Each structure stands twice: as C-alpha cells, then as structure tokens.
Amino acid sequence: MTDSEKKLISRTLQLKPVKFSELKDGNDNTLPMLMKFLADTFTTVGERMDETGSRIDDEFIPDLCTFFNNYQELDDKTCIFEVWSYEPGVIPQTLTPDPDKENAIVDTAGHVDGDGEKREFIHIAHVLAYGHSAIVESTRSTGGVYNIQRYLNKMARKAGLGRKGTFFMTDAVTKQLSKEIDRAGGAVGFTVGVTQVDPNSQSALIGLLSNVRGYMPSSGLMTVDWRSKDKLPTKKVIEAYDEAQKQDEVESVIIHLSDGSSIRGLSKFKIKQTVHVEDVGGRNPSQAELKRKMVLYLEELCTPGADGKRILDESGALADNEIFIPNSRRSKKREAGEG
C-alpha cells in the first residue's frame, strides 16, 4: 500500500517544559528519571491504575480510569510511554484492560455500537520525555495534558516520593510572540473581563480584580482596562496574559498594541507540530510511525536553525531564544517546602 492509499489521521505534538518542585536541598529530578522509577515500582496495569470519581454515601463510583502503558527507555535522559484513560461505566467488558498484565494491548479493530459506528472507548496519549521537557500528543482524551500531569503526580506520591516527585507542565511560546508585539511598536494596554472572582485565589491578578469587584459589585461582566502612555515590558505582558488565561473566572483577555491592533489568543504562538500518521483501525495511529515522528520532532527542536539558535539545549531545557511561561496556579510557598 502506498502512502497515498493509506488512511491518515493527524496528531498534534506539543512541547511542554517540565518543572519539578524546588526543595531546600535541591531537586534534580526529571520526567525520564521519575518514569523509570515508576516503571520499576509498578509493574502491572493494575498497580499503575488510578481511579477518579465521586463518593455516594459509603460507595465510591469511579468515572475515569488512567494508567501509563508501554514504557520504554530510549537512553539515560529520554523515554517514551503512553497514558491510557477510559470511563469504566461506558467501556465494554471485553475491552477493559487486564489489571494483571504488564501492558495493555490496543484493540485496533475498534468497537461497533448499535448504529454501526466505531467508537473510541480508550483514549491514548503518547509522551516523549527528554530531560526537562516533554513532547505530548494532544488527544481528545478526558482531561488532556492536565489529566496526565495529575495522574503522574499522584503516582509519584503513591510511590512515596513526596514533593521530590511533584511537577507541572507548562507551555513554551516562540519568539514570534515577542516579535509580533515589538513589530506593532510594543504593548500599551491590557484588558481583562470577568464574571465572578474568588477573593481567596492565589493569583495576584484575581486578587486585584476581587478588590475592584468588591468596590463596584455587579452581576454582569466586569471589564478592567489597563492603559499606558509608555510601552509596557513585553515579558511582563506575556506572563500577565498567560496568568489571566489560566483563571476560570476570566472570560476574555486582550493585549492592546501600539499600532491599534490587538492579540486575543496565544495558540498560534505555542511550540507544536501537526503530523500525519497511518490509521491502523479504530482511529488508532500506527504506534511505530507516531513514535518515530515524535523522535524526529525532538531532534528538530534540538537542532540549531538557520540563525544558529535552537529551541532545546542538551538538558532538554528551553534555550535562551524562547520564552518560558510559568504556571500561575502553583504555590511558590509549597514548592519551597521539603518533600
């Protein structure tokens, strides 16, 4: 079968810098190191399984099962693995992963429902971890990157690693965002719209908006507009924009530029790549092909471009030509504590 005859599906590969908690005695942990420890500690699907759900009276009702699968160490600072998730009350019993197996097996044939349509009951996200970064396959799985982060942090606690095993993933934004702001003569304003605010939020921005909301209460959308006669610091504007975007209370956020234009979304500036891989059945990508393209993308990120600059250095950290946007929800006070 030629490439033109193959049924292809697209997958988006996202670059996610990985930051572990800062401890008083230091913390040199990386995601490949953590995954090796977890793979050695939890050797079966059942041991790696995590269930989230709700408790009704004295009964726990799971609504999402998550586990990592097919861990493979590529070298001393690189590994690749999958994160599987499914809804236990929806998936057919014949497709439920065997908890006693070392790894679960993909049912490439899929499952046909009563209408004759194939349904995807198990969502699989591939993760290629390299030093201080990871390339994550973006899927429609429940929770996405957030669920992967939540699950692996919980497994680290289960393994007894404490704060040493705690990490968060964030976004890497290309230099093009700074160039876009600078091209327009800089940023001169910032607008945030909120419908409600939490006065106990850890976000400094939400705390400020809470004070404004308390002074002028309203049940509708409150819009706060910052304007400056001088050009605002680009890095600070980007950090504030990202912080606002991550808050549930924020309905809209806009960066106003000197030339009269505005920026309303960061998606096109995030470091990511879309690849096309063969559908081997049930909308499941060829794992071998997808893994190969993930490794090729990693090599691309580590290779200097025509300007001599690269995105990732030898440790997997962002090189100087990229902007690191921190996760505004983490607690600096907790990160400074001991594991």
Residues 258 and 311 in one domain: no
Considering 134-143, 184-193, 220-229, 289-298, the range whose residues carry the highest mean pLDDT is 289-298
Report if residue 306 sits inside a domain: yes
Q: Which domain holds residue 167?
A: 8-172+270-335
Last residue of a domain, one of 209, 240, 268: 268
Residues 120 and 188 in one domain: no
3-state secondary structure the chain: CCCCCCCEEEEEEEEEEEEECCCCCCCCCCHHHHHHHHHHHCCCHHHHCEEEEEEECCEEEEEEEEEEEEEEEEECCEEEEEEEEECCCCCCHHHCCCCCCCCCCCCCCCEECCCCCEECCEEEEEEEEECCEEEEEECCCCCHHHHHHHHHHHHHHHCCCHHHHCEEECCEECHHHHHHHHHCCCEEEEEEEECCCCCCCCCHHHHHHHHHHHHCCCCCCEEEEEEEEEEECHHHHHHHHHHHHCCCCEEEEEEEECCCCEECCCHHHECEEEEEEEECCCCCECHHHHHHHHHHHHHHHHCCCCCCCCCECCCCCECCCCEECCCCCCCHHHHCCCC
- pLDDT greater than 50 at residue 329: no
Residues 106 and 195 in one domain: no
Report if residue 168 sits inside a domain: yes
pLDDT at residue 333, as a whole number:
38
pLDDT at residue 203, as a whole number:
67
Residues 136 and 18 in one domain: yes
- The lowest-confidence range among 72-81, 132-141, 194-203 is 194-203
Q: How confident is the model at residue 20 (pLDDT cuts 50, 70, 90)?
A: very high
- Between 163 and 322, where is the model more confident? 163
pLDDT at residue 197, as a whole number:
61
Residues 185 and 161 in one domain: no
Residues 327 and 212 in one domain: no
Residues 302 and 200 in one domain: no
Q: What is the pLDDT of residues 160-211, one digit of tens each?
A: 999 999 999 988 888 788 888 888 899 998 888 877 666 656 666 666 666 6
A 10 A CB-CB count for 51 gives 13
- pLDDT greater than 60 at residue 324: no
Last residue of a domain, one of 210, 233, 268: 268
Last residue of a domain, one of 253, 268, 283: 268
Report if residue 3 sits inside a domain: no
Residues 157 and 91 in one domain: yes
Q: What is the pLDDT of residues 268-303, one digit of tens each?
A: 788 999 999 998 877 788 999 999 999 999 999 999
pLDDT over 70 for what percent of the chain?
A: 78
Gap between the Cα atoms of 299 and 11, Å rounded:
18
Residues 152 and 250 in one domain: no
| Interval 243-262 mean pLDDT | 80
Pair 225, 191: CB distance under 8 Å: yes
| Interval 78-101 mean pLDDT | 90
Provide the token pair at 141. 């799985």
pLDDT at residue 42, as a whole number:
98
- The lowest-confidence range among 75-84, 121-130, 204-213 is 204-213
Report if residue 1 sits inside a domain: no
Mean pLDDT of the residues in the chain? 83
How many domains does the chain divide into?
2
Report if residue 246 sits inside a domain: yes
pLDDT at residue 249, as a whole number:
67
Residues 145 and 58 in one domain: yes
Report if residue 326 sits inside a domain: yes
Report if residue 73 sits inside a domain: yes
Report if residue 263 sits inside a domain: yes
Residues 83 and 231 in one domain: no
Bridge partners of 73, per DSSP, are 79
pLDDT at residue 290, as a whole number:
96
pLDDT at residue 144, as a whole number:
85
Residues 298 and 245 in one domain: no
pLDDT at residue 57, as a whole number:
84
Token pair 């400020």: residue: 208
Q: How far is CA 90 from CA 49, 61, 96, 98, 219, in A?
A: 17, 13, 10, 16, 39
